Amino acid sequence: MMSFGDPATVPWYLSQEAAEPIVRRAVEGGVTLFDTADMYSDGACEELTGRLLGKFFARRSDYVLATKVFYPTGPGPNDRGLSRAHIMDAVDASLRRLGTDYIDLYQVHRWDPQTPVEETMTALNDLVRSGKVRYVGASLMWTWRFAVAQFTARDAGQTEFVSMQTRYNLSDREDEREMLPFCAAQGVGVLPYSPLARGLLAGTRGPDGSGGTVRARTDDTTAGRPPGNDAEILAALRAVAAEHGVPPARIAMAWLLGRPGVTAPIIGTTRVEHLDDALAAVRLRLGAAETQRLEAPYRPRPPYGLD
């Protein structure tokens, strides 16, 4: 749902009117997990998400609603991070914007080095006990930090994380070293975000970051991404896609869906056709030889976006 919000704040956000047919198609296609965050479009994304899901689902229990906490949501010193104060304020604000009594999956958006992990995990446990949150999850962080948080909660008899939302795709596979095996060993679900590497694997952005879409021209999120051998990865992807007669995006998502431990990729869309590719990827099965061709060009790259 991150692509939806107030276009006045970010040029590639879609308004509710533009987002509605995409969400309708998702519901018709059987999608039941909808992921947002309090900081997307300064809260407008949560408001839009709540209105649209209320329109397309008859019962609140028919879908899984996920949101996040960590990034700044106001100008004050306590309007950010994973302190108890911010978590308690943030969850109430998210509930109001989403128009719901509870959040199915409440995720810490990043690691907070300024707050003791015991404080964060106790606050999250209290939210689950209160009924405001059903489950808690985490997003992009070093595996050792995720393990510290997980075992801190376990040692205290508190609620543990049930999911990890991490960056994982054909062009960025560094989490295969530690995070994915750790999640598999601990029974934690993996929700990969950026399954198409922000358009790279869909062919809408070049290996150098250039592209013709509005987001490619205005979003500098990947500016710190270390250079790799994306051109070789793209060549293999396009070759396999041509043999199947489908867009490269569909092959990239089919590969991700077939990876061990992957629960549900987080798909961002700005057009109904994007969603149709994602839905079609669920039914596409890649052979062992094709998988090997897709994976062979990858070369390790330093992780980025972690501190």
Which residue in 40, 135, 193, 298 is the catalytic one? 40
Determine the Cα–Cα distance for residues 33 and 55; give it in Å rounded to an integer: 15
Question: Coil, helix or strand for 241?
Answer: helix
- Token readout for 92 is 């109430």
- Token readout for 45 is 């994304």
Residue 233: name the closest of 307, 279, 299 by CA: 299
Q: What is the CA radius of gyration of the chain?
A: 19
- Catalytic annotation present for 168: no
How would you label 45-60 residue by residue, b for 16+ Cβ within 10 Å and e otherwise? Answer: bbbbbbbbbeeeeeee
Question: Coil, helix or strand for 122?
Answer: helix
Determine the Cα–Cα distance for residues 112 and 214; give it in Å rounded to an integer: 32
The amino acid occupying position 249 is: A
Residues 66 and 133 sit within 8 Å (Cβ to Cβ): no
- Token readout for 189 is 């679900």
Residue 192: name the closest of 247, 135, 139, 240 by CA: 139
Determine the Cα–Cα distance for residues 229 and 300; give it in Å rounded to an integer: 9
Catalytic residue annotation: 40
